[in-house]
């Protein structure tokens, strides 16, 4: 009787000691929510693969050994801001999720950023593009990790203009992302002495681009800028071939292209496409090793830069939680800005006050089928843009956090 009581007391004491180690972590668990498009046009860019990447980060961080309990949940936002914000709200209120990660689709990202800000949690966005996330919609609870429309516009846009593409016509995905990308690229084009002849807005997840392509064709622009992504980009490029657009002398500029898009198009249709990304699996040994590990867990599909971004962000987040000894969203985000970043995939970098993570950007060109020697050998490197030039200068964004 007495012995049992003593044992119970000892057990309780041990349990308390263990929890004391994570004293400030809410309910003793760091809960990560991977929210993205699991079934529609962006599913291959992030999708279930992001959950795998997040898991790999938790493993590599050694959470179990450090006594930190980390759980991962995931959900499909279906590219709808109302669905995304309701999931975020419920995750935070009911399921005690501490950090939300990925969220492609800028419309959803902006909505989620607002919810996370209202509730003081953390939002690590790797999937969305709109540069407004670190501009006029910046927040002390959000870090924009991977890329943005400014970087794409300046990387791809100026490269294409330099090679002679002076007159542009845009086919734009009709929502926050497309508008931001079109706006930022148009600015680059006009600054470099080019001209924007027109633009047409296509609804998200359009299957038939024929009438938009026809308008682009009749504008006689030298470059048709595709301010869209994922399935939309794939469809635009495929159907452009059908209408003989490239044969007719115009060139297509894919302003946002991922490895999964190139894979979906096939090298014969994608060859020659020039675009900007911030990570490619075949760039160095560490990335190659990681990619092979990832592919083994993902049925042979290689990671896109979004997956790499999720890995890198989760890793840095966990390091910050450990250092700050809390998972309070605002405090961890502040810590993540304080600590320089370093991971096997992106190397050394940092997070700015406005929430923008800085790393170099790379201009890639898709190889010809004859140049590809092994599976997923798709890109050749055309140029490297150093980190301090790749992203919009902090003072230009209109972010209230920048003093």
Applying CB under 8 A, the residues found at the interface with another protein are: 38-41, 43, 75-76, 79-83, 85-87, 89-90, 93-94, 106-107, 110-111, 114, 174-176, 200, 203-205, 207-208, 210-211, 214-215, 217-218, 230-231, 235, 238, 242-244, 248
Residue 119 tokens, joined: 């509730």
Residue 298 tokens, joined: 């993902």
CA distance 256 to 110: 19
Which residue's CB is nearer to another protein, number 144 or number 359?
144
Q: Which of 145, 146, 90 is nearest to 121 (CA)?
A: 90
Burial of 273 (C-beta count, 10 Å sphere; 0-12/13-18/19+): buried
Which residue's CB is nearer to another protein, number 40 or number 372?
40
Q: Smallest distance, Å, CB 42 to another protein? A: 9
Q: Smallest distance, Å, CB 187 to another protein? A: 20
Helix, strand, coil percentages, rounded to 5, for the chain: 45, 20, 35
Q: Smallest distance, Å, CB 163 to another protein? A: 26
How big is the chain, counted in residues?
A: 403
Which residues, including other chains, have CB under 8 Å from residue 11's CB and lie 6 or more apart? none
Which residue's CB is nearer to another protein, number 117 or number 392?
117
Q: Smallest distance, Å, CB 73 to another protein? A: 10
CA distance 206 to 173: 9
CA distance 231 to 206: 8
Which residue's CB is nearer to another protein, number 208 or number 338?
208
Which residue's CB is nearer to another protein, number 44 or number 98?
44
The answer to whether 72 and 61 have CB atoms below 8 angstroms apart is: no
Contacts 24+ apart (CB under 8 A), 56-65: 56/290, 56/293, 56/294, 56/297, 56/311, 57/310, 57/311, 57/312, 57/313, 57/314, 57/315, 57/318, 58/32, 58/314, 58/318, 60/315, 61/314, 61/315, 61/318, 61/319, 63/30, 63/318
Which residue's CB is nearer to another protein, number 257 or number 387?
257
Which residue's CB is nearer to another protein, number 116 or number 387?
116
Q: Smallest distance, Å, CB 349 to another protein? A: 29
The answer to whether 122 and 141 have CB atoms below 8 angstroms apart is: yes
Which residue's CB is nearer to another protein, number 79 or number 326?
79
Give the full edge-to-edge strand order of the sheet including 274-277. Answer: 274-277, 361-366, 379-385
Reported as type and span, the H/E element at residue 315 is helix 305-324
Q: Smallest distance, Å, CB 101 to another protein? A: 18
Which residue's CB is nearer to another protein, number 164 or number 248?
248
CA distance 311 to 384: 22
Q: Which of 218, 222, 223, 151 is nearest to 188 (CA)?
A: 151
Q: Smallest distance, Å, CB 244 to another protein? A: 6
Cα 268 to Cα 172, 255, 262, 378, distances in angstroms: 24, 19, 10, 11
Q: Smallest distance, Å, CB 315 to another protein? A: 26
Q: Smallest distance, Å, CB 80 to another protein? A: 6
Q: Smallest distance, Å, CB 234 to another protein? A: 8
Which residue's CB is nearer to another protein, number 193 or number 249?
249
């Amino acid at each position: 009787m007495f012995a049992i009581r003593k044992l119970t007391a000892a057990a309780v004491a041990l349990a308390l000691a263990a929890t004391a180690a994570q004293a400030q972590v809410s309910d003793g668990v760091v809960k990560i929510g991977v929210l993205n498009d699991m079934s529609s046009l962006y599913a291959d860019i992030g999708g279930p693969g992001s959950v795998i990447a997040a898991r790999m980060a938790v493993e590599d961080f050694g959470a179990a050994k450090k006594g930190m309990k980390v759980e991962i949940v995931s959900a499909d936002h279906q590219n709808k801001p109302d669905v995304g914000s309701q999931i975020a709200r419920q995750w935070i209120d009911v399921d005690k999720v501490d950090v939300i990660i990925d969220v492609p689709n800028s419309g959803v990202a902006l909505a989620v950023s607002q919810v996370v800000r209202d509730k003081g949690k953390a939002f690590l966005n790797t999937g969305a593009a709109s540069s407004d996330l670190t501009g006029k919609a910046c927040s002390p609870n959000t870090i924009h990790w991977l890329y943005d429309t400014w970087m794409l516009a300046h990387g791809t846009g100026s490269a294409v203009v330099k090679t002679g593409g002076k007159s542009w016509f845009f086919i734009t995905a009709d929502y926050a992302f497309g508008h931001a990308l079109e706006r930022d690229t148009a600015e680059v084009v006009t600054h470099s002495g080019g001209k924007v002849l027109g633009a047409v807005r296509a609804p998200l997840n359009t299957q038939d681009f024929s009438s938009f392509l026809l308008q682009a064709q009749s504008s006689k622009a030298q470059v048709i800028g595709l301010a869209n992504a994922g399935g939309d980009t794939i469809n635009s490029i495929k159907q452009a071939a059908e209408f003989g657009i490239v044969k007719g002398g115009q060139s297509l500029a894919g302003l946002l292209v991922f490895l999964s898009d190139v894979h979906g198009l096939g090298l014969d249709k994608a060859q020659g496409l020039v675009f900007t990304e911030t990570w490619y699996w075949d760039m160095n040994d560490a990335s190659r090793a990681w990619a092979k590990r990832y592919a083994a867990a993902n049925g042979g599909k290689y990671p896109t830069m979004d997956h790499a971004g999720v890995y890198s962000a989760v890793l840095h987040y966990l390091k910050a939680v450990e250092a700050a000894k809390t998972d309070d969203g605002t405090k961890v985000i502040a810590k993540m800005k304080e600590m320089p970043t370093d991971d096997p995939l992106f190397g050394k970098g940092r997070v700015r006050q406005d929430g923008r993570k800085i790393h170099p950007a790379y201009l890639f060109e898709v190889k010809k089928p004859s140049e590809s020697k092994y599976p997923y050998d798709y890109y050749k490197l055309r140029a490297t843009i150093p980190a301090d030039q790749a992203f919009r200068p902090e003072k230009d964004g209109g972010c209230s956090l920048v003093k």
